[in-house]
A and B are shown apart, each in its own frame.
Chain A
């Protein structure tokens, strides 16, 4: 429903002289905190967990420092196996699955993340849910119309798995580069946006399977390779991204009250003042790709 809010603002602006002006805001000083960015999937490629430290709000995000020397492990509590992530420096920790030895992450298993930084241990949990297969990727030719440049666009053919409460993060890559602006976040709860009886098991609705895969001001060019991945995520992860989106697009007349995005990573010692932000999610992935003719 986030899409409606900018629209409302536009409506109001049409009548009035509503405007945004840059404004210097004096901000209070905060304390740096750890960030644990742990999105791990069941593919065979190298899995990465990032551990960083938050910076003052007005600073350049490219200066966010990595945290080295942490111990990072994921524990499969279904199979009682532990997978250690190696410290690659600058806050990057990796693990490469090995199918031949059975060292892979599996659908249906429960996982616990443990991160030890100095005297603090942070833990989190996630279940890996199955994901919806990519049935097809097809081309759509659009004519010039309001808000749409003529050209070729991509539509995903996929439908929500039966059973209520499946959540997905659908990523689109153009020649290997992910569309990763906050406005491009493409999330689904069952076949639509939020928990509702009607959308279980249905093909993803148009805003998810078509609108969010394309930039209608920039049609795909001939030769572009478009890959789409459907990551199963936990409902908590969906809410996490919903909150992130809400915080980053919180503007205009109907802005909500800014709030901290909730993390699912906790200090094992609840009395410790050292806190961590970030999120842990185990995903199953399906994918498909198409080359624009």
Chain B
């Protein structure tokens, strides 16, 4: 990458006949000068009218101003701010290129937005992380990671190391809509949550939205994680990579046609299996062992004239575990998305996305003569047009829709024996989800901003298939008995649901340094991840809403105070409170059988949930020392008839206190230091009180029938990292990253339970299960060329 660019911006004047009475529109794109990469969320402000807008996810903006002299300021964290003045008489379109701040400043900025965004924008309960910011956080085994970084933000928690997914504001892990270039990802984890599937070298921008969710997002209750990948350098070939303790990474990007089309390809693979091979080879049963995970991402984009852009992005990742030929366990995601941007006019922008997304897993054991093989997946095709109409200086309207066709394969299982092959497969399930939405961002005077919208969503559970009917059990909380089944033909509706989902956000600007924000959103979710384990596992099965399983609904209210401090508003702070009601939350009878069970719905219970809390966040954005402190006080509870004597009980992921501290310090030109600290209250646990015996088996029992009546010990951990810059030339830049995870070797229990005492098989013994119980050092080498 070159930093010697002196070109500040280029203006392409386009003639447009249409002249509005007094107002004209400036529209265009903001790009990074060195690579031509579009910048998301760059701020464009006009001085005299004090109007400002941000670029959208495709780097596009549109701003309406009166004719005459305009003074534009274009800014984005980590880049030099540009000021542009010119006389404007008619609609104008321009491309602004921003230059990266000089080297020493590069280490200083960890945010990916303008300084006043925190206070000035209407978004609340929203956090943005750039690829660059993520790289500053000390990482497990030296591998920086998107999802692990998100887990350090207010309102976000996990059950513990080794659990896939994360919990946002008291919601379960399946309530997060995780989008990779607009395609949903059903399991964002490699290696049981230790790493996420997003290759940090390719990530351009990550946005986490926990509340005030706008109408263009839907389908999950608790959050949106919108991951955007880089488009690829449009000007020259460049690459980066790394050799780490667990992964190796490499990515190459460059122009296909200079300034018109570019590509990026990236790959990661773990190599613990390669390193262990000599050891495994000694044992002939283990020589075929496979332990690896990998992902491949690729993207191309084409600028087709002044009005059209085309993006094609693909992702494939897998985790592969196998012991010899006898056991195998594989899971992975595949996504393919095609997006077409079209600028109808200076005021009307369209993005049309078509995507395919698949999550599948495969489990098998046995040998050639006797084997068991199980395969399950979920895949969907979706079509999503979205329009942004920059109606006038005060209103921006977003409208669009989405149509998604799902196929669920809950389990294809076969058992091969000498007598033949037996099939245990469950039939496929089908569904069609649709949504239409409209949302308006409106400015009222100097102090008020509103965002109001409505989303209509519907879900059709389709044939071919069987709708099952159950009779109520004698006692609530017991298995429902299967009553009858009705067969439906192909594409016949077996159950239909629709929901109106109002969304509202209000901002009141108190002064230039502080604002109050309020939001309400209703969300509907038609897919459910069935899991009765403590941590969600890659084996958990996604199921549609059916005639028995109703869609999940959530209502959330949030109120926040936003304030900037310090010289140049360098310190941003916020305090938010939220309250969330959740309906139709799926729970399970005790001893539920979720896998390969045709009558699974008889084992499900439904209840309501409530989650509430307060989040405090202070972030210092520049200077030698920067970082953030996040503290969340929260509760997440559930009430289900048939569990815990029908009383409220804390959810498995309920943690009262969550304190996260992230800091990085630029020691000198060569060294950067980083540290993070995590403290979380213990998760709930259920313990027995008594013991009884049936057929010679000792059985634990809680005479109160309580759920989550006790607590595991609290979780705390300190990590360090140190980055040493290596060779820095125009052709090759490198760095060494040293990391220490769990610096004081805290033995954080993942869970506490009882097992049979190995010394006395007739007795039980309390045990804490620790996933990471020692200091884990790591070193990795990263390079750019």
Contact with B along A230-246 (1 / 0, CB 8 A): 00000000010011101
Tell me which residues across on chain B come within 8 A of A198, comparing CB atoms. Answer: 413, 422-425
Cα distance, A18 to B652, chains bound together (Å): 20
Q: Is B532 in the interface zone, CB < 8 Å from A?
A: yes
* Structural contact, B326 and A146, CB atoms closer than 8 A: yes
Contact B532 A257 (CB under 8 A): yes
In this assembly, does B257 line the interface, its C-beta being within 8 Å of a C-beta of chain A? no
Q: Are B422 and A205 in contact (CB under 8 A)?
A: yes
Selected from A4, A202, A242, A252, the residue in CB contact (under 8 A) with B419 is A202
B184 proximal to A (CB < 8 A): no
Contact A33 B701 (CB under 8 A): yes
**Residues 695 to 718 of chain B near chain A (Cβ within 8 Å):** 695-705, 707-710
Number of B residues, CB within 8 Å of A: 96
Q: Does B153 contact A (CB under 8 A)?
A: no
CB-defined contacts of A12 to chain B, threshold 8 Å: 162, 191-192, 771
Check A30 against B771 for contact (C-beta < 8 Å).
Answer: no
Digit string of A128-153 for contact with B (CB within 8 Å is 1, else 0)? 00000000000000000110000000
Is the C-beta of B76 less than 8 angstroms from some C-beta in chain A? no
Contacts of A27 in B (CB 8 A): 687-689
Expressed in whole angstroms, the Cα–Cα distance for A30 and B426 within the complex equals 42
Interface size class of A (residues with CB under 8 A): 35 or more
* Residues in A neighbouring B423, C-beta threshold 8 A: 198
Bound Cα distance A25, B689 (Å): 11
Does B478 make an interface contact (CB < 8 A)?
Answer: yes
**B94 contacts the other chain (CB 8 A):** no
Q: Is the CB of B688 within 8 A of A258?
A: yes
B424 touching A259 by the CB < 8 A rule?
no
CB pair A256–B532 under 8 Å, yes or no, is yes
Select one of B286, B366, B590, B769 contacting A243, CB under 8 A: B590
Residues of chain A lying within 8 A (CB to CB) of residue B478: 262
**B565 to chain A: closest CB distance in Å?**
41
**C-alpha spacing A7/B709, complex, angstroms:** 29
Known A-B contacts A23-B749, A57-B690; the reply to A262 vs B769 at CB < 8 A is no
Residue of A nearest to B272 (CB): A15
Q: Does the CB pair B692–A33 fall under 8 Å? A: yes
Residues of A within 8 A of B763 (CB): 60-61
A108 at the interface (CB under 8 A from B): no
Which residues between 39 and 53 of chain A lie within 8 Å of chain B, taking CB atoms? 39, 50, 52
Contacts of B526 in A (CB 8 A): none
Enumerate chain B residues within 8 angstroms of A16, measured Cβ to Cβ. Answer: 161-162, 194, 771-772
* A residues less than 8 Å from B652 (CB atoms): 257
- Which residue of the partner chain, among B162, B689, B707, contacts A259 with CB atoms under 8 Å? B707
A145 to chain B, nearest CB (A): 6
Q: How far is the CB of B417 from chain A (nearest CB, A)?
A: 6
Complex CA gap A155/B285 in Å reads 24
User: Complex formed: what's the CA distance from A32 to B693 in Å?
Assistant: 13
Q: How far is the CA of A16 from the CA of B194 in the complex (A)?
A: 10
Q: Which residues of B contact A242 (CB under 8 A)?
A: 591, 593
Task: Please report the C-alpha to C-alpha distance between residue A112 and residue B697 in the assembled complex, in whole angstroms.
Answer: 24
Minimum Cβ distance to chain B for residue A124 (Å):
12
Within the complex, the shortest CB–CB distance from B704 to chain A, in Å, comes to 7
User: A260 to B590, Cβ gap below 8 A?
Assistant: yes
- CB of B470 within 8 A of chain A? no
Which interface residue of A37, A64, A257, A261 has the most chain B CB atoms within 10 A?
A257
| Interchain CB contact under 8 A, B768 and A246 | no
How far does the Cβ of B142 sit from chain A's closest Cβ, in whole Å? 15
A102 to B290, CA, bound (A): 62
B756 and A56 form a contact (CB under 8 A) = no
B 526-563 to A, binary, CB cutoff 8 A, 1 in contact else 0: 00000011110101000000000000000000000000
- Do A239 and B479 form a contact, CB below 8 Å, given A1-B595, A27-B688? yes
Q: Are A22 and B701 in contact, with the CB atoms below 8 A?
A: no
Q: Does B459 touch A at the CB level, under 8 Å?
A: no
Q: Which of A11, A33, A199, A207 has the most CB of B within 10 A?
A: A11
Cβ-closest 10 pairs across A and B: A30-B689, A243-B591, A146-B285, A30-B703, A259-B590, A54-B692, A25-B766, A35-B692, A23-B768, A54-B690
Known contacts A37-B693, A56-B690, A252-B769; 6 additional CB pairs below 8 A are A19-B769, A54-B703, A251-B753, A257-B686, A258-B687, A260-B590
Q: List 13 A-B residue pairs with CB atoms under 8 Å apart, sorted by A's residue number.
A: A8-B537, A17-B772, A25-B754, A28-B709, A30-B689, A30-B701, A57-B691, A61-B691, A146-B283, A180-B696, A198-B424, A206-B417, A258-B687
Interface residues of A (CB under 8 A from B): 1, 3-4, 7-8, 11-12, 14-25, 27-33, 35, 37, 39, 50, 52, 54-62, 64, 145-146, 178, 180-182, 191-199, 202-203, 205-207, 239, 242-244, 246-248, 250-262, 277-279
- B residues in contact (CB < 8 Å) with A: 161-163, 191-192, 194, 272, 283, 285-286, 291, 321, 324, 326-327, 329, 363, 365-366, 370, 372, 413, 415, 417, 419, 422-426, 478-479, 532-535, 537, 539, 590-591, 593, 595-599, 652, 685-705, 707-710, 747, 749-756, 761-774, 776
